[in-house]
Structure 1
């Protein structure tokens, strides 16, 4: 009897606790205009939403009789805060946002200094691509979208098989580092796969830093950095879709959906791209565009923690089947030279995450893992490659004495690479010897606010590679802002890259030649000087802005395979 009464009381308590929640509804406007896509969030609860085309929004499952701070933000408006307390089932709100002064508008960026800072205050110039630009200039993938930034050039290196990379300020693709949410996930084998297959509807913005940044990010950050920032699931819409098609028969479909649990919010996105039309407009007997069939799944989880500490994890899987060649080519000719075709099967999996330690100090741990499998035939020549990269990094963000902001940390990067070329064969060519590269490093950066007009940033990184030895990467940047409408930035830095010999060059597929190392290998290096000037001219009727950059890059120690001096050797 006692147990039954106890169970009944417990059930009643559960129902009572469930009932103690309500809904907040509201409307967001500015003057006579309704504000669309404004972000409404209760940071303490990890609950958020966005306004529709009429400025309306709704927040569910809000605890009653408790006080919370509501944050309302939108591009072009001053962020508003409002204290709320739900005392009934619903709470209607009318929120009026104030337009921000055009000269004071500034995006928040993280790529230049590895910490959140306004774009105006950053001593390192950062370019931004937003989803609004995607809508005005639709592209089937982010690979094409980044070409909207001056100095950034997506380039196809193989018109038949559609293999490409991204050049920044004239530096070749392997010297561009791709990040997703600040995590390096791509190396030279698969640069293009870092930007193909991420649903456009899941992208918050793309940040581009031109020039070397190895002092923070290590190997491969020689030409520049492209950082894809995905949406915070808390602020993402419940469902979003993006469909893109062309008269040539290209079809790209993005679908994203949000799901909320008690302590986490998930954002799931799927991208499907298909192009199966054989076009030969120049009548040369070869396909004008590579036929492709690609699907990508991306899932990101943000976890609610005390004091708004960061914790998130994301995963992505990409499968792609693409081919190009003679228009009469079919799958039955794969691996033969009866009818020429180049066929590539790709499978790629990635996991990235960040965790802020539960300490008084701001200490973060980031990790990533990616595995890339490629099964290719160029005519009858096979190219089978597998690459795995594990990355772990911990850093401490510390404010010192009000004017100094210190960032210090360490990282470990492990790369396993194997293919069927002489690059991973034993000296006698009889056995296979995959390469395993272990690259530890430490870094430190100090951002010194000398005065409201002057900011100085200095950074240094030390890495050690078994083939190249010790690698030093310094950087210095200076910002002078006499007023809000004029900003001058000057920077100098170095970049480096450790190389997997010959595995990125199709010429290495010519057979089992003897590999000859002619001299002691040093890491490929770049030295860069950059001068940037930003001028803002706000008026009552329009806003005019100028952004002018001049740069000089010096590249040295390029490792090149010599295939012509001796037909039996790769030198």
Structure 2
């Protein structure tokens, strides 16, 4: 009821804020966007300080209608080119013609980013380093089907599979595990703990425009959990009339020798956008379908990769209100069936082991932006996500392993940016609420001839209210930024009232950006962060075998975990003699206080039982430190190379109770990536990719318990694509192989009593694929 009331209030505020602020509509601005005499198609053209914009057509021609009279700044952006601004004096009537000649550039640094400061700025002007993974890198270069497959393309990031049965996966940033990272969708923090269990493998890449990554503490801007960093999934906007469709067939586990058979993995995507002639409204829709068979790597009859059926549908739309207001809405729904274990043709409780179930996720957001004065901007927003899942985590034909989880998260907020010459202020307020109910479903106990009723395992309501502000001042080549956020949180546990917690915390962030030149920037930053003691994604996943189930809970009196992060970096990006190149060196040091740690008991909860409850407790302090190195070079428009590596250490101050080890588990000291893309002709593209994972400590939690050191892995990929142009569209044929050398774990546990958490290394074995894409922008 509380969330419904908050949602009604938010919609009312949005309605009041969307009253148009009228300007004097007068002129039309037309022109052509070129580079080296050739047209640049589909470039974005916009009037700064307004919501007026348009996309150039296939000939580079554009038209901006209804531009208010006065001196206006018009900016042009296009992928692969440097942006360009021109000041134009707009009269009372008539048409003005302005042409733009863009410099061809693959320089990373000129792209616009929003995650570093909650404001759209060129990357080289962002107070913190923002790494970007583009839609081209996700789909054209790496053939990443879902987001989890593409996140390894950012330095300091690594996605791991943590369950041999169901494929529970998580993102590690600078060595810190999943709950230390904040996942945003278009800047909104509604990606809940329930969604986080499998969500990164559910979200398809065809709905993503780009992924922005900020490493290091981000709690001052985005609140709880942004200790390791922030990942912002930015959905595709409608820019011009377009459509595309793709279909891909993959074979997972090819060449596993005598063990296992390749599993089929079929996917299909569709995207379409339509924009009105006056560019005052537009909508893009997207769809995704996936059907993957379970994969058994060691021929024991149990899957190492889960069976998946996923159907995703969504849209994003905008409506300009006046010349300085814009209303944006996005909505998507994910329906997925997932199951790992064995005996897939039978009911879950008839199998020896099953983990998985059905998910229904509905996520949406509404944002109203309004400009004031020259460049001041007010944003009011509401975002919500509802997750309903029916799960089975169990083995040995257990009837008591069925469960249902219902989770609703809601974010309401507003922020205002005020610009004062050489300084600016961004201030806002946010309220994040979540209600989560996790139930163990009732069943008929045949042995005792009684019906066991449904029991609540968790019934949690959490509310976090934050007030944040950031002041930025520019003095010559120095930009100083001071950010501050005050959060107050309250977590109500309706199952165990004694476990209720509340508190408040003040979080500062200080950054210094010094530009030695337009090409070279140095940054220093300090940020504090925290994690509130609430339910996390691993609490909503149960490692299951026929002889053991591991659940998680918080210890009584668990305190918030806090952190301090220091970063220093040098970032160099330039273009000389037709060659674009650059490098990044970034050092980081994070200190965790009252760090969360999990203790797994030696004995089950009930003598003779199979359920073990792992307890999360405050384990003192921990330190994560290291360096991120990244380089890129593009000697021409036809070839580009990018690579990055992270070298780090991660240690607790005190050894754990099971193995006497201070080092973080599942956290390699060295990992990185490399991508190369070559276009020998305008039709042919060849891509090479690689992901390196160094040695790491992996616990084996079944008897006999052991702490093993894994091998190092190099997951290499190759993709060929060929585009055939047609009258108004084109067809692209592509094929390739992932994990060419089959660098994959070779010591999985076997049988129904295996340890499903003993899994590490690349997400999938050698995989061949072929596909076709059809669209009008190829």
TM interval, short-chain normalised: 0.7 to 0.9
Q: Which of 212, 215, 221 in structure 1 is aligned with 2:217?
A: 212
Q: Which of 129, 133, 158 in structure 2 is aligned with 1:129?
A: 133
Instruction: Return the alpha-carbon distance in structure 1 between the equivalents of residues 473 and 76 of structure 2.
Output: 31
1:471 deviates by 1.4
Aligned to 1:464: 488
Specify the SS of the correspondent of 1:120: helix
1:294 deviates by 0.5
Instruction: Return the alpha-carbon distance in structure 2 between the equivalents of residues 335 and 397 of structure 1.
Output: 56
1:370 correspondence with 2:389: no
CA contact (8 A) 1:185 1:194 kept: no
1:254 correspondence with 2:288: no
**Per-residue Cα deviation, 1:514-551 (whole angstroms, up to 9, x for no partner):** 98844x33212222111111123532131221111111
Which has the higher relative contact order, 1 or 2, with Cα contacts under 8 A spaced 6 or more apart?
2
Aligned to 1:9: none
Aligned to 2:123: 119
Aligned to 1:347: 360
123-132 or 339-348, which moves further after superposition?
A: 339-348
1:335 correspondence with 2:349: yes
**Per-residue Cα deviation, 1:285-319 (whole angstroms, up to 9, x for no partner):** 22242221101112111111123323211111000
Instruction: Return the alpha-carbon distance in structure 1 between the equivalents of residues 153 and 502 of structure 2.
Output: 36
**Per-residue Cα deviation, 1:53-76 (whole angstroms, up to 9, x for no partner):** xx366879x79xx99998653231
Q: Which of 326, 337, 345 in structure 2 is aligned with 1:321?
A: 337
Aligned to 2:624: none
**1:70-81 pair list within 5 angstroms:** 72-75=76-79, 76-79=81-84
Specify the SS of the correspondent of 1:133: helix
**1:280-291 pair list within 5 angstroms:** 280-291=296-307
> Aligned-residue CA RMSD in angstroms?
3.7
Aligned to 1:393: 413
Q: Which of 412, 432, 437 in structure 1 is aligned with 2:462?
A: 437
CA contact (8 A) 1:199 1:255 kept: no
When residues 306 and 153 of structure 1 are mapped into structure 2, their CA distance, relative to the original with a 3 A threshold, is same
CA contact (8 A) 2:163 2:543 kept: no
Instruction: Return the alpha-carbon distance in structure 2 between the equivalents of residues 179 and 125 of structure 1.
Output: 17
CA contact (8 A) 2:538 2:552 kept: no
Instruction: Return the alpha-carbon distance in structure 2 between the equivalents of residues 194 and 42 of structure 1.
Output: 37
1:295 correspondence with 2:311: yes
Instruction: Return the alpha-carbon distance in structure 1 between the equivalents of residues 248 and 161 of structure 2.
Output: 21
**Per-residue Cα deviation, 1:467-487 (whole angstroms, up to 9, x for no partner):** 141112111111122212221
Specify the SS of the correspondent of 1:310: strand
Gaps of 5+ in 2: 1-27, 253-263, 442-453, 491-500, 607-612, 616-778
Specify the SS of the correspondent of 1:295: strand
**1:111-510 pair list within 5 angstroms:** 111-134=115-138, 135-191=140-196, 194-233=199-238, 235-248=239-252, 249-260=264-275, 264-276=281-293, 278-326=294-342, 328-330=343-345, 332-337=346-351, 339-356=352-369, 362-379=377-394, 380=398, 381-400=401-420, 402-420=421-439, 434-449=459-474, 451-466=475-490, 467-501=501-535, 504-505=538-539, 506=541
**Per-residue Cα deviation, 1:11-68 (whole angstroms, up to 9, x for no partner):** xxxxxxxxxxxx999875423544244235689895634443xx366879x79xx999
CA contact (8 A) 1:372 1:387 kept: yes
When residues 264 and 197 of structure 1 are mapped into structure 2, their CA distance, relative to the original with a 3 A threshold, is farther
**1:542-561 pair list within 5 angstroms:** 542-560=579-597
Instruction: Return the alpha-carbon distance in structure 1 between the equivalents of residues 237 and 344 of structure 2.
Output: 44
Gaps of 5+ in 1: 1-22, 423-428
When residues 71 and 242 of structure 1 are mapped into structure 2, their CA distance, relative to the original with a 3 A threshold, is farther
Instruction: Return the alpha-carbon distance in structure 2 between the equivalents of residues 568 and 102 of structure 1.
Output: 58
When residues 354 and 415 of structure 1 are mapped into structure 2, their CA distance, relative to the original with a 3 A threshold, is same
Instruction: Return the alpha-carbon distance in structure 2 between the equivalents of residues 105 and 501 of structure 1.
Output: 38
Specify the SS of the correspondent of 1:147: helix
198-207 or 368-377, which moves further after superposition?
A: 198-207
**Per-residue Cα deviation, 1:249-300 (whole angstroms, up to 9, x for no partner):** 3233221112346853111111112213x44343232224222110111211
When residues 432 and 101 of structure 1 are mapped into structure 2, their CA distance, relative to the original with a 3 A threshold, is closer
Instruction: Return the alpha-carbon distance in structure 1 between the equivalents of residues 531 and 519 of structure 2.
Output: 38
Instruction: Return the alpha-carbon distance in structure 2 between the equivalents of residues 148 and 546 of structure 1.
Output: 15
CA contact (8 A) 2:52 2:323 kept: no
**Per-residue Cα deviation, 1:403-454 (whole angstroms, up to 9, x for no partner):** 32111111111110111269xxxxxx976761111211211111121x2321
1:560 deviates by 4.3
1:567 deviates by 4.3
Instruction: Return the alpha-carbon distance in structure 2 between the equivalents of residues 514 and 70 of structure 1.
Output: 55
What's the TM-score, normalizing by structure 2?
0.61
Instruction: Return the alpha-carbon distance in structure 1 between the equivalents of residues 573 and 82 of structure 2.
Output: 18
CA contact (8 A) 1:208 1:227 kept: yes
Instruction: Return the alpha-carbon distance in structure 2 between the equivalents of residues 138 and 531 of structure 1.
Output: 33
1:370 deviates by 0.6
CA contact (8 A) 2:185 2:191 kept: no
1:357 deviates by 5.0
Instruction: Return the alpha-carbon distance in structure 1 between the equivalents of residues 466 and 133 of structure 2.
Output: 31
CA contact (8 A) 2:306 2:339 kept: yes
